[in-house]
Amino acid sequence: MGINYIDKTGAYKRLKDAFPDLIEEQVSLAQYSSFGVGGPADLFARVRTVDQLSSLLKTVSELEIPFAVIGLGTNLLVADKGYRGLVIQNIIKGLEVSGSQITIASGEDYMTLVNAATEAGLTGMEFAAGIWGAVGGAVVGNAGAYGSEICDVMVKAEIANRQGVIRTEKTAYFEFAYRSSILKKTKEILVSATVKLKSGNKVSIAARVKEILQIRSEKHPRIPNSAGSFFKNILDSTQPYGKLPAGKLLDEVGAKELSYGGARVYEKHANILINSGTATAQDIRKLADILKERTLEKHGITLEEEVVSLGDFE
Ligand SMILES: Cc1cc2nc3c(=O)[nH]c(=O)nc-3n(C[C@H](O)[C@H](O)[C@H](O)COP(=O)(O)OP(=O)(O)OC[C@H]3O[C@@H](n4cnc5c(N)ncnc54)[C@H](O)[C@@H]3O)c2cc1C
């Protein structure tokens, strides 16, 4: 199945001609998603530098090719049919500590930021210990845990618009909310983020990081077969951290007993769906739909998905 199979306008060929070393065809996205499911992207590029990202976006937008940017695929459910267009995997690296601020490229692991802060004796990033994924996905989804989120420490970030023009914006621009930012709407691309932390005691920071890693290792799967919590918690000011855990509601509808095809609910956490080895994306989709239906029936609450779907589902 070559490029001409779907390249009706010739745009794919022009993109491939412009970036011969960068663009790959028909790349399975299952390998780039922690669920381990999903079909191929028509075109795929792993972008290593800001210049590469910028010039690729410019050309892709001129050619009007649909595109999506992913990081480490730890919050992603890719459809079995894959993605029609270009998937850009952002693997831009780089980190700089300057006083109490750390600037980190969006393709770095979130955990790299935690480690750098610990090493520099800076406190404020401990909450993110053990959260999978890269900084780009973390900012887009305002990733957090234990009552803190990236928006609490981020002071500015570099972003690229859909045409590849790079600019810097302060935190207010991002309209951060629970697991959300403006980038989910504008579909702009996070290039790097700067966090401002406080001076702390290196030993106590490291101890807190270790403690959180320990708690997480008991609650979360350690192997890549999930995307973390599938549904968002429900905002509720009467609850600890202001949220009613979706996992609690799901427990009460018997989620942990449920499976669909090769997808099942993790036995230690009712809000984590896992691929037991043979799941298709559709299995996971169906199981998620069943969980939503049951929660609506029993609790009158419509669960919102935290995991982002990519491509067309049946
Ligand atoms: C075991 C496990 C535990 C987890 N625990 C938590 C947790 O406690 N708290 C939490 O918040 N999350 C958690 N997650 C979810 C996930 O780790 C975070 O959401 C993570 O920040 C996603 O980053 P990513 O690079 O994998 O993003 P991806 O999954 O690759 O992408 C997620 C979304 O972000 C977009 N995106 C990615 N990079 C960019 C970029 N540079 N610019 C623009 N858009 C981009 C994608 O298009 C997609 O819409 C967990 C996941 C797993 C597997």
Residue 76 shares a structural domain with residue 16: yes
Ligand 1 centroid to Cα of residue 39, in Å, is 19
Beta-bridged to residue 191, according to DSSP, are none
Residue 237 shares a structural domain with residue 138: no
Choosing from 183, 200, 218, the residue where a domain stops is 218
Q: What's the CA gap between 203 and 199, in Å, rounded?
A: 12
Choosing from 201, 218, 235, the residue where a domain stops is 218
Residue 144 shares a structural domain with residue 179: yes
What count of other Cβ atoms lies within 10 Å of the Cβ of residue 308?
Answer: 17
Residue 84 shares a structural domain with residue 107: no
**Which stretches of 19-140 are DSSP H helices?**
50-62, 110-119, 135-140
**Which stretches of the chain are DSSP H helices?**
11-18, 50-62, 110-119, 135-140, 183-186, 202-219, 246-252, 281-299
Residue 97 makes CB contacts below 8 A (sequence gap 6+) with: 116, 120, 122
Residue 72 shares a structural domain with residue 120: no
Residue 246 shares a structural domain with residue 169: no
Q: What's the CA gap between 100 and 196, in Å, rounded?
A: 6
Residue 191 shares a structural domain with residue 208: yes
Q: What is the token pair recorded at 79?
A: 């459809």
Classify residue 306 by its DSSP letter. -
Would you say the CB of residue 139 lies under 6 angstroms from ligand 1? no
Which atom of ligand 1 is found nearest the CA of 74? Answer: 26
- What's the CATH code of the domain at 292? 3.90.78.10
Which atom of ligand 1 is found nearest the CA of 149? Answer: 11
For 7-31, give the DSSP string: -SSSHHHHHHHHSTTT-EEEEESGG
Residue 108 shares a structural domain with residue 201: yes
Residue 212 shares a structural domain with residue 125: yes
Quote the radius of gyration of the chain (alpha carbons, Å): 20
Would you say the CB of residue 190 lies under 6 angstroms from ligand 1? yes
Residue 127 shares a structural domain with residue 212: yes
Choosing from 64, 90, 116, the residue where a domain stops is 90
Q: Name the residue of 44, 67, 70 whose CB sits within 8 Å of the most ligand 1 atoms, as the mutation to test its pocket.
A: 70
- What's the CATH code of the domain at 107? 3.30.465.10
pLDDT in tens, the chain (314 residues): 455 456 778 999 999 999 999 999 999 999 999 999 999 999 999 999 999 999 999 999 999 999 999 999 999 999 999 999 999 999 999 999 999 999 999 999 999 999 999 999 999 999 999 999 999 999 999 999 998 999 999 999 999 999 999 999 999 999 999 999 999 999 999 999 999 999 999 999 999 999 999 999 888 877 779 999 999 999 999 998 889 999 999 999 999 999 999 999 999 999 999 999 999 999 999 999 999 999 999 999 999 999 999 999 97
How many domains does one find in the chain?
A: 3
Residue 68 shares a structural domain with residue 113: no
Structural domain boundaries enclosing 240? 225-310
pTM given for the model? 0.95
